[in-house]
Chain A
Amino acid sequence: MQTVLETKNVIKNYRKTKAVRNLSIKLEENTIYGLLGRNGAGKTTLLNLLTGHKFPDSGEIKGFGKTLNKGDSLQEICYIKDNHQFFEESKVIQLLNFAAPFYEHWDWNFANELLRQFELDPNKKFKKLSRGMKSTVGIMIGLASRAPITIFDEPLLGLDAVMREKFYDILLKDYAEHPRTILMSTHLIDEISKVVEKVMILETGSIKLFDDMDTIRNKSYFVSGKSDVVESILKHKNVIHKDQHGKITIAAVFNTMSKQEIMEAEELELSVEGMSLQKFFSYYCMGGDKHE
Chain B
Amino acid sequence: MSRSFNIVKISYGIIKFPFLIFAITLVLVSITNFTLNNIFNAGGIMTSASIANIIASYLFVISAIWPIYFYKRIMSLGATRKEYYSGIIFTYVAMAAIFSLFNTVWIPFENSFLSENIFYYNIVEIFNWDQYGTLGSFLYQFFAYLLIVSFITLLFSCFNHMIGILLYIVLAVGIPISVSIGELRNALGKGLSIVFSNPSIWIGLALNIAFILIFFYSGWWFTKRREV
Contacts and interface: CB of A to CB of B under 8 A. Distances in A.
Interface of A: 48, 52-55, 70-73, 75, 78-79, 81, 84-87, 89-90, 94-95, 98-99, 101-103, 141, 145
Contacts of B183: none
A84 B77 CA distance: 9
A81 B80 contact: no
Contact of A101 (B2, B14, B227): B2
Contacts of B77: 86, 95, 98-99, 102, 141
What band does the interface of chain B fall in when counting residues whose beta carbon is under 8 Å from A? Answer: 20 to 34
Majority secondary structure of chain A interface residues (helix, strand, loop or mixed): loop
Given A73-B80, A78-B78, A54 B227 contact: yes
B14 A71 contact: no
Q: Which of A73, A81, A86, A102 has most B Cβ within 10 Å?
A: A102
Given A75-B80, A103-B78, A85 B6 contact: no
Interface string B107-139: 000000000000000000000000000000000
B223 interface: yes
B72 interface: yes
Contacts of A78: 78
Contacts of B76: 79, 81, 84-86
B225 A70 contact: yes
A187 B44 CA distance: 73
Interface in B1-42: 2-3, 6, 10, 13-14, 17
Contacts of A52: 80-81
Given A54-B228, A70-B224, A95-B77, 18 more contacts: A48-B227, A48-B228, A52-B80, A71-B81, A71-B225, A73-B81, A75-B3, A78-B78, A79-B78, A86-B76, A87-B73, A90-B13, A98-B13, A98-B77, A99-B78, A102-B6, A102-B83, A141-B78
B224 A102 contact: no
Interface in B68-103: 72-73, 75-83
B176 to A, nearest CB: 33
B4 to A, nearest CB: 10
A61 to B, nearest CB: 14
B157 to A, nearest CB: 12
Contact of A90 (B14, B81, B82, B225): B14
Contacts of A71: 81-82, 223-225
Contacts of B225: 55, 70-71
Contact of A98 (B6, B72, B75, B228): B6
Contacts of B228: 48, 53-54
Contact of B73 (A70, A86, A145): A86
A40 B224 CA distance: 27
**Across chains A and B, which 7 residue pairs bring their CB atoms closest together, nearest first?**
A71-B224, A102-B78, A53-B228, A101-B6, A85-B76, A99-B77, A73-B80
Contact of B3 (A72, A87, A94, A101): A101
A67 to B, nearest CB: 15
Nearest to B6: A101
A287 B126 CA distance: 75
Contacts of A87: 14, 73
Nearest to A49: B227
Contacts of A95: 77
A94 B13 contact: yes
B72 A85 contact: yes
Nearest to A101: B6
A278 B156 CA distance: 45
